[in-house]
Amino acid sequence: MTALLVVLTIVLFIVIDYLIHKKVVNEPQRTKVNSSEIREKDIRLPTGVFLHPKHTWAHILQSGKVKVGIDDFIAKITGTIDRITLPAIGDVIKQGQTFFSINSGNKKLEFVAPVSGKIIQVNNDLLENPELLKEPYNFGWFAVIEPVNLSSNLMNLKIAEDAIDWLKSEFRHFREFLVATANGQRFAVQTLSDGGLLAANILNQLGEEHWKRFQSEFLS
């Protein structure tokens, strides 16, 4: 009975998400990595993807396993990533626990697990080609998890219109964050211009201390 309830809960979430996405076409596609500007409407979310409020995503596979990664917002604002730390296969993690990181030089961001479970696969291609992160929902995934307490975990995630609205609010939040940094005047021209444009990879223009502040404000 419990297993049936879990399945029905997951199906309900996916059906709601699908119906909303029929009105707003937002299917996975290759990110335009050469774009020099980011608009609020450019932040993508594919059908059936759940978001954790610390910018990681979860997609339930047909097998019942869960593929996870970072969201499109993070992918668009980070610059050149030269080192990635993946979890080990066999690790058991809890929702909200830090389990992978990305580095640009001496600057680092850590990300939490969107669901609880056991790591059964990692994306080793990321180690050789961090540029795959620019396609976060396709080739830039981090790990596959055999979940536990999935129905309970899903209650803490966002999906469909709720997730899209949240991503837009995070975009605006980030603009405010940029203006409040030590180089706020420098970034204000870009972030407060007509349409609220951001320069692509803008986070990489900030120093290590600002990455730490971003970690604390958006990811921790």
Please report, for the domain that includes residue 49, its CATH number. Answer: 2.40.50.100
d(CA 80, CA 37): 16
Query: What residues form DSSP beta bridges with 109?
Result: 102
Q: Is residue 23 over pLDDT 50?
A: no
Q: Is residue 57 over pLDDT 50?
A: yes
Total domain count, the chain: 1
- Does 174 reside within a domain? no
Q: Which of 102, 91, 73, 81 is nearest to 144 (CA)?
A: 91
- Does 169 reside within a domain? no
pLDDT attached to residue 20? 39
pLDDT attached to residue 189? 46
Q: Is residue 201 over pLDDT 70?
A: yes
Q: Which segment of 13-17, 38-42, 86-90 scores lowest on mean pLDDT?
A: 13-17
Q: Is residue 75 over pLDDT 80?
A: yes
Q: Is residue 210 over pLDDT 60?
A: yes
Range of the domain at 46: 2-162
- Does 206 reside within a domain? no
- Does 45 reside within a domain? yes
Diameter of the chain by CA atoms?
Answer: 58
pLDDT attached to residue 39? 82
For the whole model, what pTM was predicted? 0.81
Q: Is residue 37 over pLDDT 90?
A: no
